[in-house]
Amino acid sequence: MIQRTLVLLKPDALERGITGEIITRFERVGASIVGMKLLVSEKDTAKLHYTDDLAKRRGEKVRELMVDMITSGPIVAIALEGIEIVEVVRKMVGATEPKSAAPGTIRGDYAHVSFKYADANNIGVFNLIHASGSVEEAPIEVAVWFRPEELVSHNPTYTKFTIKK
């Protein structure tokens, strides 16, 4: 099953200069980049991304902190396409809490902030990256950050005989 998913490289990833390394990881597993842009998010867009559902699950204060964090600097929004790519990307990204993320994952290799530290400092968790959490969530999130005409379809040469759309 070919899917699309959203990845956001957050301000801390850009500040640390590791965006290229992270993007390379997705390319190495065969994910196709079908949309990518550098931007500074407006608060309204960030609130569409961090939905009311987040507020219900984690509280409005957490939502506000996440909105503040993602609007604190430039981000890279990426739409990826590939075979069961939502699950593949989630595994590559690692646990939401960086200190709990397994070595070999993006968060496990590049971050270590804990929820406890973030809470004590009244900040959102700087965990480098966002990845859509489910197959159902992915197209909704892609639509928050990309207009349809900003996404491309392509069939890389190496996949012509392995991926059937």
Q: What is the CATH number of the domain that holds 12?
A: 3.30.70.141
In single-letter form, the type of residue at position 119 comes to: D
Split at pLDDT 50, 70, 90, the class of 62 is confident
Neighbours of 111 (CB within 10 A): 22
Number of domains in the chain: 1
Residue 162 lies in a domain: no
Split at pLDDT 50, 70, 90, the class of 146 is very high
Give the C-alpha separation, 164 to 11, whole Å.
36
pLDDT at 158: 57
Q: Judge residue 26's burial from the number of C-beta atoms within 10 Å of its C-beta, 0-12 exposed, 13-18 middle, 19 or more buried.
A: buried
Would you say residue 112 has pLDDT above 80?
yes
Enclosing domain of residue 99: 2-147
Structure token pair of residue 141 = 């999130």
Give the C-alpha separation, 87 to 6, whole Å.
12
Would you say residue 147 has pLDDT above 60?
yes
| Residue 99 or 60, more confident | 99
pLDDT at 61: 85
Residue 152 lies in a domain: no
pLDDT at 134: 95
Residue 156 lies in a domain: no
Give the pLDDT confidence of 72-101 residue by residue, as tens digits.
999 999 999 999 999 999 999 999 999 999
User: Annotated catalytic sites, by residue?
Assistant: 130
Give the pLDDT confidence of 117-141 residue by residue, as tens digits.
988 999 888 999 999 999 999 999 9
Residue 157 lies in a domain: no
Residue 14 lies in a domain: yes
Residue 154 lies in a domain: no
Give the pLDDT confidence of 10-37 residue by residue, as tens digits.
999 999 999 999 999 999 999 999 999 9
